[in-house]
């Protein structure tokens, strides 16, 4: 890391001079990942997995969709499981930092030509503006949300917790992030940085300049969203959705439970090099990869953070601790392209 030149020149105890007059202030308009919708061809089994193994609650059912939440999710729901003929991403939703911030972002999105327009809302939130990434991942941004109002039997003694800790499975605490496969990591990354103000925290770039993966954040965690190169010809695939424990040991507990219940454990527990997060990857019965985070990795408070640059996948794998990456990790996403081709 290079030492920054001084942006401010001391003159006296009463006076300084601003040298870097055109320093670009960071865009703080997007506050967080609010919820995710996934598609599942086996919705009952999927819901059973999130309920019985990950301890999440079903809070609403409507049409072909089931709405679920982790016990420390602040809002009404963070996961919408919609029945579909194949697994994949439904959409991901971002919450703006204020109503005005939302309108500013919508204005920026409209200029990109990738805006899809407003919707009235859904279970758990009000008006949302929908758009897509260059690769076609569907997203939305919103302000108005509903907080979760637990029934009597879910009242908790911990006032900073939205509801009582469940007595099922190894219960996850809250939604953490999503990881998307894509055909052009640089292009999709630039889109979200420009339109939403996301900040790049880490990336993998080869010596030839190919961007293999990016980690993007709107907060102090290393990422709410990552992009990975998709080696297939598919576009818009989901790599994984991640829920958070905050407690490393819970990953071993839930991995044990998954093994006992015929849930495919793909990778981990492992301590990542990128993000330093302690993680586990499993496939929910519908086929989507679910990541579980066992700790907070490292947090970034530095407002002038220089993105960390890794040069190849092998180094990224080797410098972590525990299980190395599998072939499937780099190739499998949902929808499962081979499966789809096969069906055609």
Using CB under 8 A as the binding criterion, the count of chain residues that bind a second copy stands at 112
Which of 203/239 has CB closer to a second copy?
Answer: 203
Q: Is 123 helix (H, G, I), strand (E, B) or coil?
A: coil
**What is the smallest separation between the CB atom of 141 and a second copy, expressed in angstroms?**
11
Which of 126/231 has CB closer to a second copy?
Answer: 126
290 with 333: CB under 8 angstroms?
Answer: no
- The set of residues, in sequence order, having a beta carbon less than 8 Å from that of 32 and lying 6+ positions away, is 94, 95, 218, 219, 224
**What is the smallest separation between the CB atom of 236 and a second copy, expressed in angstroms?**
21
CA distance 111 to 104: 11
Which secondary structure element, helix H or strand E, spans residue 99, and what is its range?
helix 99-112
Which H, E and C letters describe 289-341, residue by residue? EEEEECCCCCECCCCCCCCEEECCHHHHHHCCEECCCCHHHHHCCECCHHHHH
Which of 206/261 has CB closer to a second copy?
Answer: 261
Please identify, among the stretches 37-45, 69-77, 189-197, 283-291, the one whose residues bind a second copy according to the rule CB under 8 A.
Answer: 69-77
Q: How far is CA 189 from the centre of its chain?
A: 14
Q: Which of 42, 58, 83, 103 binds a second copy (CB under 8 A)?
A: 103
Task: Provide φ and ψ at 109, rounded to 5°.
Answer: -65, -40
Beta bridge pairs of residue 291: 242, 281
Which of 169/236 has CB closer to a second copy?
Answer: 169
**What is the smallest separation between the CB atom of 86 and a second copy, expressed in angstroms?**
27
Residues in 114-173 that interact with a second copy by CB under 8 A = 117-121, 126-127, 143-149, 156-161, 164-165, 167-169, 173
Q: Is the dihedral of CA 52, 238, 198, 317 positive or negative?
A: positive
Please identify, among the stretches 9-17, 78-86, 190-198, 233-241, the one whose residues bind a second copy according to the rule CB under 8 A.
Answer: 9-17
Task: Name residue, tokens 């919820």.
Answer: 35
How many angstroms separate the Cα of 205 from the Cα of each of 53, 311, 312?
37, 5, 7
Which of 4/113 has CB closer to a second copy?
Answer: 4
Q: Which of 152, 207, 208, 260 binds a second copy (CB under 8 A)?
A: 260
- The set of residues, in sequence order, having a beta carbon less than 8 Å from that of 185 and lying 6+ positions away, is 211, 212, 213, 214, 227, 228, 229
Which of 163/334 has CB closer to a second copy?
Answer: 163
Residues in 174-233 that interact with a second copy by CB under 8 A = 174, 202, 219-222
Which of 57/230 has CB closer to a second copy?
Answer: 57
**What is the smallest separation between the CB atom of 48 and a second copy, expressed in angstroms?**
10
Residues in 263-322 that interact with a second copy by CB under 8 A = 265, 268-271, 273-276, 278, 295-299, 301-305, 308-310, 319, 321-322
């Amino acid at each position: 890391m290079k030492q920054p030149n001084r942006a401010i020149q001391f003159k006296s105890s009463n006076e300084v001079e601003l040298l870097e007059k055109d320093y670009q202030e960071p865009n703080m308009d997007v506050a967080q990942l609010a919820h995710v919708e996934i598609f599942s061809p086996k919705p009952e089994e999927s819901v059973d997995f999130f309920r019985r193994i990950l301890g999440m609650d079903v809070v609403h059912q409507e049409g072909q969709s089931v709405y679920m939440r982790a016990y420390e999710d602040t809002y009404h729901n963070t996961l919408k499981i919609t029945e579909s003929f194949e697994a994949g991403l439904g959409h991901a939703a971002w919450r703006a930092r204020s109503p005005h911030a939302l309108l500013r972002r919508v204005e920026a999105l409209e200029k990109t030509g990738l805006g899809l327009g407003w919707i009235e809302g859904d279970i758990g939130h009000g008006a949302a503006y929908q758009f897509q990434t260059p690769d076609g991942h569907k997203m939305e941004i919103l302000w108005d949300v509903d907080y979760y109002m637990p029934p009597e039997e879910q009242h908790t003694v911990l006032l900073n917790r939205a509801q009582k800790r469940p007595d099922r499975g190894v219960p996850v605490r809250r939604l953490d992030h999503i990881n998307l496969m894509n055909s052009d990591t640089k292009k999709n990354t630039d889109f979200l940085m420009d339109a939403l103000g996301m900040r790049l925290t880490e990336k993998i770039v080869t010596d030839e300049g190919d961007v293999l993966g990016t980690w993007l954040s709107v907060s102090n965690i290393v990422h709410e969203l990552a992009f990975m190169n998709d080696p297939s010809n598919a576009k818009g695939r989901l790599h994984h959705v991640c829920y958070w424990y905050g407690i490393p040991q819970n990953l071993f507990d839930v991995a044990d439970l998954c093994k006992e219940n015929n849930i495919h454990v793909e990778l981990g527990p492992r301590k990542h090099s990128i993000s330093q997060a302690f993680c586990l990857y499993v496939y929910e019965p519908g086929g989507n990869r679910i990541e579980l985070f066992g700790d907070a990795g490292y947090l970034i408070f530095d407002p002038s953070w220089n993105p960390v640059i890794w040069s190849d996948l092998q180094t990224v794998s080797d410098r972590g601790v525990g299980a190395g990456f599998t072939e499937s990790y780099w190739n499998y996403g949902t929808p499962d392209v081979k499966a789809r081709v096969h069906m055609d």
